[in-house]
Amino acid sequence: MRALVVHEVLPSAAEHGAGGEVVDGSRRVTYADVYRRALRLADSLKKLGVGRGTVIGVMDVNSLRNLELHYASSMLGAVILTINFRLAAEDLLYTIRHSGAEWLFVWEGFAPAVGKLRPAFPKTWVWLTDGSEAPEPGTPTCAELVEAGAERLPDEAGRVQETDPFSIFYTTGTTGRPKGLLYRHRDMMLASLGILHHLALHPGGASAGSRDVFMPAIPFFHIHGWGTALFVPYLGAKLVLPGRAGPEEQLRLIQDEGVTWTNMVPTQVHMLLEAADAAGVQRLSGLKVLTGGSPLPTGLARQMRERGVAFSLIYGGSDQLATSISVVPPGIEPESAEAWEALRREMMPLSMVDVRLEDEEGRTLPSDGRGIGRVLVRSPWLPGGYYKDPERSAEAFADGWFRTGDLAVMNPSGAMYVVDREGDAVKSGGEWIATGVLEALISEHASVAAVAVVAQPDDRWGSRPLAVVQARGEVTEEMLKAHLISCVESGRLARFWIPDRFVFVDALPLTSAGKVDKAALRKTLA
């Protein structure tokens, strides 16, 4: 590898890979095939005028097309904008305009939803198609560009530097307008390989290696599928691209393709297990899941263990990439109940990542496992701020540190347990109540399918917790309070943490990242 630039991964995978294939629907190709196709695509893009610094927006599911665009754009020094197609229309349009995208590559499956976008790119629009038919005569398709290009490495590829920009993506916008992050080649390479090496070096549930079969269920628009678009080809391992597969289809792919590793937010895991129930699949032994984005409820972790599904928890986000991944601490038997609980809670920073906790006055908290503090992180891949957004950058980035907006407890070992978002935590009588901890305990009740705890204003205490419950069976407020009182009696919960109210709903609202939308819940409950 000449340098830490993204397109250097493919020739290495083609020559030295573990013989893995890339599966996309009925298509099966080798990494050598992917490299050749990316070369032809890059050649065609160059003829269209795409070059150094050109921002190309890609609106697609996890597909072979999307993967090839990652590497072809890198060869030209172009910048790929991975578009979050789950954003509200207004926010989606904002991210495209704010990024300065000059070209748009859109999957034909989104054709009914992109009517307002089409006129803005009359001559710089490319359709991503599943077959040979173009949805719009006269407009190029990505398949045609691959077919027409020459199989040669562009001269620009050798001039791309580690410090050149590689990609732009945006936060989900749950606290205002989505915020943009511009990452360089070395940033994405270091972070992606940092995730892989942590999973390979430390004992944990979602260990990863070249013999695994990977199916990234986290969309590429979210940190390139948590780095899988880069580190799976780096391994040369088999890569199964699920496209727009729902839980039932994901289950079929796991069974038919021998998938051993996937990544999902907890809500996706919950839906996969429900699909397994419906299909009569009792065990998913051999499946490893890297999960994150929100706390992993105790009840869901228990279901995974009962099904033979191993897991690790990852912590990070668009504005910091990966920070920590849970591990089994030394001295604990890997398959024990203590190990499973540690993997749900105890996250160790990746190599070269610094994490510290601060109190409300900005003082560093000791790592004694007791005090809840605000999380600050520092790493070699941390951006200097939000893209073209100096005001919000100044609020979050300072002196090389990023203020995450999360609250956590730090153990003497350096392991961190993220308990809540600062904006979601309840402060009752001057004391923090971590909603993530409460949600984990409530989820242990067998009749709770999902739960979210939000703050409810209170004249006496400032705020009090309110639990919103999605039930899977017969359950009442009295039953849940009795369950929590038993947690108090066993020393797992302080009595004043028990919610004053329980509200039962058919389904919890979700954000575009698949997390529970607490902002929407608070608005509805108000």
pLDDT at 1: 64
273, 292, 326 — which closes off a domain? 326
| Inside any domain, residue 392 | no
| Inside any domain, residue 259 | yes
pLDDT at 425: 77
Same domain, 79 and 199: yes
Query: Taking the CA atoms of the chain, what radius of gyration do you get in angstroms?
Result: 23
| Inside any domain, residue 243 | yes
Same domain, 33 and 167: yes
pLDDT-above-70 percentage for the chain: 98
Instruction: Tell me the pLDDT band of 457, cut-offs 50, 70 and 90.
Output: confident
CB atoms within 10 A of CB 302: 17
DSSP labels, 367-423: SSS---EEEEEE-TT--SS-TT-HHHHHHHEETTEEEEEEEEEE-TTS-EEEEEETT
What CATH number should be reported for the domain holding residue 36? 3.40.50.12780
What token pair was written down for 60? 């697609």
**Beta bridge partners of residue 195, listed in sequence order:** none
Same domain, 199 and 313: yes
Same domain, 303 and 433: no
If you average pLDDT over residues 165-185, what whole number do you get? 89
Same domain, 40 and 182: yes
| Inside any domain, residue 349 | no
Q: Which domain holds residue 429?
A: 424-526
| Inside any domain, residue 46 | yes
Same domain, 308 and 430: no
pLDDT at 13 over 80: yes
Instruction: Tell me the pLDDT band of 361, cut-offs 50, 70 and 90.
Output: confident
Same domain, 310 and 456: no
Q: What is the pLDDT of residues 82-115, one digit of tens each?
A: 999 988 888 899 999 999 999 999 999 999 888 8
pLDDT at 3: 86
Same domain, 66 and 210: yes
Residue of 252, 256, 305, 298 lying closest to 275 (CA atoms): 252
Q: What is the pLDDT of residues 409-434, one digit of tens each?
A: 998 888 998 887 877 778 787 677 87
> In whole numbers, what is the pLDDT of the chain averaged over residues?
91
pLDDT at 175 over 80: no
What CATH number should be reported for the domain holding residue 445? 3.30.300.30
Same domain, 182 and 294: yes
pTM (predicted TM-score): 0.86
326, 342, 357 — which closes off a domain? 326
Same domain, 131 and 258: yes
pLDDT at 341: 87
Same domain, 29 and 178: yes
Q: What is the pLDDT of residues 140-162, one digit of tens each?
A: 999 999 999 999 999 999 999 99
Q: Pick the more confident residue, 510 or 203.
A: 203
| Inside any domain, residue 6 | no
Residue 111 has, within 13 A of its CA and on its CB side, a CA count of 10
If you average pLDDT over residues 375-402, what whole number do you get? 95
pLDDT at 75: 98
pLDDT at 433: 83
Q: What is the pLDDT of residues 178-221, one digit of tens each?
A: 999 999 999 999 999 999 999 999 999 999 999 999 999 999 99
284, 309, 326 — which closes off a domain? 326
Residue 436 has, within 13 A of its CA and on its CB side, a CA count of 22
Same domain, 458 and 320: no
pLDDT at 51: 97
Q: How many domains does the chain have?
A: 2
